[in-house]
Amino acid sequence: MSEPRLIYLPKILDDRGNLTFVEEEKHFPFKINRVYWIYDVPGGEFSSSHAFRENEELIAALSGSFDVVLHDSTREYRFSLNRSYNGVYVPKMVWRKMENFSTNSLALILASTSYDENDYIRDYDTFLKEVSQ
Ligand code: TYD
């Protein structure tokens, strides 16, 4: 199974403003089916916890900062995102939580599947059961 990891995306430095880009299957190991972003989060807020059965994601802090906390049932990974050129790769079947959003933060999420509520595991015991199968 692939592991969660911090990805350093290309960064083009320019006095007029920096530029970062991503290419699917080159900088992260999946094809994009969906893009969503989380914004207007009150400072200090956190997301609900869940895992995806099939969906994989790349999460980036385009603005501000927040933490991505992951658990694969063996170990915990904590990534503090505060640079626009970093992304966290979240494989399928990893328990995931985002927390400590700064005021005016903007999270961009590239996802490998279309939205499907049935792909969510929202109960931690169910996650532990399914991940050990
Ligand atoms: P959800 O992923 O459940 O966020 P959280 O677990 O932090 O509450 O999404 C919140 C709502 O948005 C949920 O009702 C489903 C809807 N939603 C979509 O319709 N499409 C999407 O791509 C996403 C991510 C969410």
Q: Is the CB of 50 under 6 A from ligand 1?
A: yes
Closest CA to 39 of 108, 112, 85: 108
Q: Domain locations in the chain?
A: 5-131
CA–CA gap between residue 92 and residue 76 (Å, rounded): 15
Q: Is 50 a catalytic residue?
A: yes
Q: Is the CB of 34 under 6 A from ligand 1?
A: yes
Question: Which residue of the set 27, 34, 50, 53 is catalytic?
Answer: 50
CA 115 – ligand 1 centroid, Å: 8
pTM here? 0.96
Residues 94 and 72: beta-carbon distance below 8 Å:
yes
Residue type (1 letter), 32: I
Q: Is the CB of 97 under 6 A from ligand 1?
A: no
Classified by CATH at the fold level, domain 5-131 comes out as Jelly Rolls (2.60.120)
User: What is the pLDDT at residue 48?
Assistant: 86
pLDDT tens column, 97-113: 999 999 999 999 999 99
pLDDT tens column, 61-120: 999 999 999 999 899 999 999 999 999 999 999 999 999 999 999 999 999 999 999 999
Burial level of 91, CB count in 10 A (0-12/13-18/19+)?
A: buried
CA–CA gap between residue 116 and residue 7 (Å, rounded): 26
Residues 25 and 66: beta-carbon distance below 8 Å:
no
Closest CA to 84 of 3, 4, 21, 5: 21
